[in-house]
Amino acid sequence: MQNHCAVPNCPSGKSDPQPLFRFPSDAERSKKWVEKCQRQDLIDKSPGHLSRYYRVCGKHFGPSLIDTLHYKCK
């Protein structure tokens, strides 16, 4: 499991900490997240794999893509 954002060159860092969100296990929503990440290597990964191993920080998402706090990582 990664403890940092999956988005390349993510601007969030120690000086601007962001909450990390687990990828949704829902296939449709997971696909949207991958598109947001712009990571070609994640496209063929299963939602289950993404959900288990990847995180994206709150900087890249509006509230509509995050089910409130359900996917928030502690």
Measure the CA–CA gap between 63 and 67, rounded to whole angstroms.
7
* Per CB under 5 A, 34 contacts Zn ion: no
Cβ-contact 36, 57 below 8 angstroms: no
* Per CB under 5 A, 6 contacts Zn ion: no
The least CB distance from residue 54 to Zn ion, in Å, is: 11
* Per CB under 5 A, 5 contacts Zn ion: yes
In the chain, the amino acid numbered 57 is C
Residue from the set 34, 37, 57, 66 that interacts with Zn ion by CB under 5 A: 57
Of 28-36, 40-48, 52-60, 63-71, the window that binds Zn ion (rule: CB under 5 A) is 52-60
CA contacts within 13 A on the Cβ side of 72: 9
